């Protein structure tokens, strides 16, 4: 595909996103007869609660069907090409997979526990604890339509600025201070450690790896093609409300948190977008994060966040392991030969580049300048030996 055709295709995708976003309220995916914004503790995990999960179950079923269709189509294409089939098998069984028997580092254990616990309390915290903090907001892609979550999510007012400006001055100031404060203090650690949408995508990647299914390998051109799509979503999120539209109607987060909390909400184009996100996240790790508008806005604070990715350029051998491991496709980490700080605006601080780096102290995650997670040749070699023995 020539550059002009690529530009045209990317432009058409951006226009399609804008059209879908504006008219999404015309396309209900799943609609309840009534709306309920309260769920009590004794209603959780009951038959009634399970009935509320019907739209999510339908989304998961359609996503699984779509994944199987993609796998079947790929197998059909490779059936007559033995060389390509062997290459695909080798890539799906390549080193770096999280195979059974491998020991996760303390950093990765903390990351997974943080994602699980935070997602649980963001969804069920208000119900279980009987407390809801509505004034302060956290910049996390966790649907604020869930009125039973522990605290407010920033994404609603960021996508409904007209509603934000109609609040009392004190509430506006508190919202801005809390949102920017969390973004500055944590940066995109929020994406790698706290975001419920991030947890869902990581779980899809775990399923793919455990089933030995080959993922999609994206190159620089593919990542660059996503940039205008990401910016389109940023503009839609921040400005769609002024055009009479509603970003929530096609936001995938609305299909997760409110439904799991037992709330009866209507799903519009958001249901179809969530199917697309789940299928994409199965084949490409953190697929939605590469175009997430809220994550990109949080990333604008990366230069002042205390969490950094540091590199010892003298220890780096330019093997490219960090680039291969990065779910966001950040190439500058291994290409940089002078600066010690290689933190990128799209970095979600997942630590995968550090975990896969085979050189001692070549890469590390730091907080206020102090190393938190450092690359280790010994650990990489030990994991490689375990893979060879399995």
Structure confidence by residue, pLDDT tens digits, 9-27? 888 888 988 998 888 888 8
Question: Per-residue pLDDT averaged across 203-207, rounded?
Answer: 95
Q: Which residue has the higher pLDDT, 293 or 98?
A: 293
Would you say 192 and 199 are in contact if contact means Cβ atoms under 8 Å apart? no
Q: Which residue has the higher pLDDT, 224 or 86?
A: 224
Mean pLDDT, the chain, integer: 85
Which pLDDT score, from 0 to 100, does residue 207 have? 94
Query: All domains of the chain, ordered by start, with CATH?
Result: 42-80+103-303 (no CATH), 307-389 (3.30.70)
Would you say 358 and 381 are in contact if contact means Cβ atoms under 8 Å apart? yes
Residue-wise pLDDT tens digits, 246-255:
999 999 999 9
Long-range contacts of the stretch 163-170 (C-beta < 8 A, 24+):
163/241
Confidence of residue 101 (pLDDT cuts 50, 70, 90): very low
Residue 157 reports pLDDT greater than 60: yes
Which pLDDT score, from 0 to 100, does residue 294 have? 93
Q: What is the rounded distance in angstroms from the CA atom of residue 141 to the CA atom of residue 294?
A: 7
pTM beyond 0.85: yes
Which pLDDT score, from 0 to 100, does residue 288 have? 95
């Amino acid at each position: 595909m020539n550059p002009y055709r690529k530009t045209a295709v990317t432009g058409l995708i951006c226009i399609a996103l804008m059209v879908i976003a504006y008219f999404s309220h015309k396309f209900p995916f799943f609609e309840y007869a009534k709306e309920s914004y309260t769920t009590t503790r004794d209603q959780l995990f009951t038959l009634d609660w399970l009935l509320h999960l019907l739209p999510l179950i339908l989304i998961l079923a359609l996503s699984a069907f779509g994944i199987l269709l993609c796998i079947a189509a790929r197998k059909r294409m490779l059936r007559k090409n033995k060389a390509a089939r062997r290459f695909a098998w080798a890539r799906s069984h390549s080193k770096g997979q999280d195979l059974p028997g491998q020991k996760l580092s303390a950093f990765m254990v903390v990351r997974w526990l943080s994602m699980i616990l935070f997602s649980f309390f963001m969804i069920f915290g208000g119900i279980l604890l009987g407390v809801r903090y509505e004034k302060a907001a956290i910049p996390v892609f966790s649907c604020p339509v869930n009125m039973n979550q522990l605290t407010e999510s920033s994404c609603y007012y960021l996508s409904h600025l007209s509603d934000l400006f109609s609040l009392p001055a004190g509430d506006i100031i508190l919202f801005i201070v809390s949102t920017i404060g969390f973004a500055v203090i944590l940066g995109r650690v929020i994406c790698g450690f706290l975001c419920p949408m991030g947890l869902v995508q990581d779980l899809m990647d775990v399923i793919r790896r455990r089933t030995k299914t080959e993922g999609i390998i994206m190159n620089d051109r593919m990542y660059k093609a996503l940039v205008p799509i990401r910016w389109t979503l940023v503009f839609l999120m921040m400005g769609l409300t002024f055009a009479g539209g509603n970003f929530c109607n096609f936001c995938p987060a609305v299909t997760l948190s409110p439904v799991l909390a037992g709330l009866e909400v209507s799903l519009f184009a958001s249901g179809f977008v969530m199917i697309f996100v789940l299928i994409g996240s199965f084949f490409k790790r953190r697929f939605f994060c590469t175009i997430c508008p809220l994550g990109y806005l949080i990333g604008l604070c990366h230069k002042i966040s205390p969490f950094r990715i540091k590199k010892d350029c003298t220890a780096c051998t330019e093997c490219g392991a960090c680039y291969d491991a990065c779910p966001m496709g950040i190439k500058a980490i291994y290409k940089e030969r002078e600066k010690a700080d290689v933190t990128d605006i799209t970095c979600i601080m997942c630590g995968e580049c550090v975990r896969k780096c085979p050189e001692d102290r070549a890469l590390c995650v730091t907080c206020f300048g102090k190393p938190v997670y450092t690359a280790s040749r010994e650990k990489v070699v030990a994991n490689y030996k375990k893979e060879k023995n399995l």
